[in-house]
């Protein structure tokens, strides 16, 4: 049994679906169901006893303690977070509450549980903290990619809150011996991503003939990784990672935002020629830059590749093709989360939230 936090979100739900399919090991999924949590992602597991969903907050220590005692997980995979940079600029408080205070409360309960375990279980136990490359700050065009020894220099409330949580996790290892692992991954894309993030936002606006907003000059660079590859990397770190270590995860796939948008538009031109406005790229509209917008992120993923033998299976071409096709095949999913139907579905199936 493992305990996943934030398992109704984009990466967490992909992780649970892949995990149960690959290992069959049961998962307790603790999720607050914020706007980003979507149980419809996990509807295929609704009748599956290997997925136990618990609606709750990682700040609720009584609940976390009860879940640990009841289910006795061998590992915690901590995905729960507020994750959208733009939201963190407009309202940072939730980011502090969940990403920093929430991680602290979770660590406290996990520490007490871990200390109560018998020696063999204690040795085997793992706390894996899922984090982001944004903690390293911004690179210049000629700088070397982020490695695990790059100093932290977060620039947004989101990345600052994730950096703080990474430091807490590190401290619980050094101070209390808690067996932790931390992963810092680049931008993910793939099925079930909430349509506020760049790729689904662009795709859905393009399909509806709406403007495709590009911050600034569109030349900000990000590394992109298919979500399934991120999930595989997390499994590799959980199974083989060295305690107390961090692992950078990336796709060796740096692209400007403008290139990403052009790629999505070109795929849609082929797959969906009936959109109201084509070519889709004619909808590109430059908008005022995000305050403090980091110019470039890039990941040096050699450590996880060499030490743990992980490599991404998808390149951007194959991954983005699959992703666009997934959204085209699942327009009802999009419709449900954007129209409020999802809330009714949760009320009907789970008695509200």
Residues tagged active-site: 133-134, 158
Helices and strands: H and E segment counts in the chain: 14, 12
d(CA 182, CA 164): 13
Strands of the chain (E only): list them.
Answer: 2-5, 27-31, 51-55, 75-78, 126-132, 180-185, 187-189, 212-215, 221-226, 246-249, 254-256, 284-287
Q: Kindly state the tokens that stand for 145.
A: 């990619």
Minimum Å distance from CB 258 to ligand NAD?
19
Minimum Å distance from CB 99 to ligand NAD?
7
Strands of 216-271 (E only): list them.
Answer: 221-226, 246-249, 254-256
Residue numbers at the binding site for ligand NAD (CB under 6 A) = 5-6, 8-12, 30-34, 36-37, 57-59, 79-83, 98, 102, 130-132, 162, 185, 187-188, 194
Closest residue by beta carbon to ligand NAD:
9
Q: Using the minimum distance from each CB to ligand NAD, give the nearer residue, 9 or 179.
A: 9
Q: Using the minimum distance from each CB to ligand NAD, give the nearer residue, 185 or 281.
A: 185
Minimum Å distance from CB 281 to ligand NAD?
23
Peptide bond into 279 cis (omega under 30): yes
Contact call for residues 25 and 336 (beta carbons, < 8 A): no
Q: Using the minimum distance from each CB to ligand NAD, give the nearer residue, 67 or 268.
A: 67
Minimum Å distance from CB 119 to ligand NAD?
31
d(CA 28, CA 346): 18
d(CA 260, CA 262): 6
d(CA 279, CA 147): 39
Minimum Å distance from CB 130 to ligand NAD?
4
Residue 131: strand pairing partners: 184
Angle CA(145)–CA(131)–CA(331) in degrees, nearest 5?
100
């Amino acid at each position: 049994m493992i305990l996943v936090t934030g398992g109704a979100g984009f990466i967490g739900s992909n992780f649970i679906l892949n995990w149960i399919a690959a290992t069959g090991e049961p998962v307790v999924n603790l999720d607050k169901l914020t706007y980003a949590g979507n149980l419809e992602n996990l509807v295929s597991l609704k009748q599956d006893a290997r997925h136990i969903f618990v609606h709750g907050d990682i700040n609720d220590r009584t609940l976390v303690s009860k879940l640990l005692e009841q289910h006795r997980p061998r590992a915690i995979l901590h995905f729960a977070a507020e994750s959208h940079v733009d939201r963190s600029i407009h309202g940072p408080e939730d980011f502090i509450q969940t990403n920093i205070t929430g991680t602290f409360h979770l660590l406290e309960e996990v520490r007490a549980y871990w200390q109560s375990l018998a020696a063999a279980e204690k040795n085997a136990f793992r706390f894996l903290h899922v984090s982001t490359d944004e903690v390293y700050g911004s690179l210049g065009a000629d700088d070397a990619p982020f490695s695990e020894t790059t100093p932290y220099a977060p620039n947004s409330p989101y990345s600052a809150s994730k950096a703080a949580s990474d430091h807490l996790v590190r401290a619980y290892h050094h101070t209390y011996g808690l067996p932790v692992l931390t992963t810092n991954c680049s931008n993910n894309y793939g099925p079930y991503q909430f349509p506020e993030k760049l790729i689904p936002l662009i795709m859905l606006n393009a399909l509806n003939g709406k403007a495709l907003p590009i911050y600034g000059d569109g030349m900000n660079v990000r590394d992109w990784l298919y979500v399934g590859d991120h999930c595989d990397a997390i499994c590799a770190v959980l199974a083989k990672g060295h305690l107390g270590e961090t692992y950078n995860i990336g796709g060796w796939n740096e692209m400007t935002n403008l290139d990403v948008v052009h790629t999505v538009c070109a795929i849609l031109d082929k797959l969906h020629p009936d959109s109201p406005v084509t070519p889709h790229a004619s909808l590109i509209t430059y908008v005022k830059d995000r305050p403090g917008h980091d110019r470039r992120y890039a990941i040096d993923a050699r450590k996880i590749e060499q030490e743990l033998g992980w490599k991404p299976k998808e390149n951007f071409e194959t991954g983005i093709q699959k992703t666009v096709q997934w959204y085209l095949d699942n327009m009802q999913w999009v419709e449900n989360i954007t129209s409020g139907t999802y809330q009714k579905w949760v009320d009907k199936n789970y008695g509200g939230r």
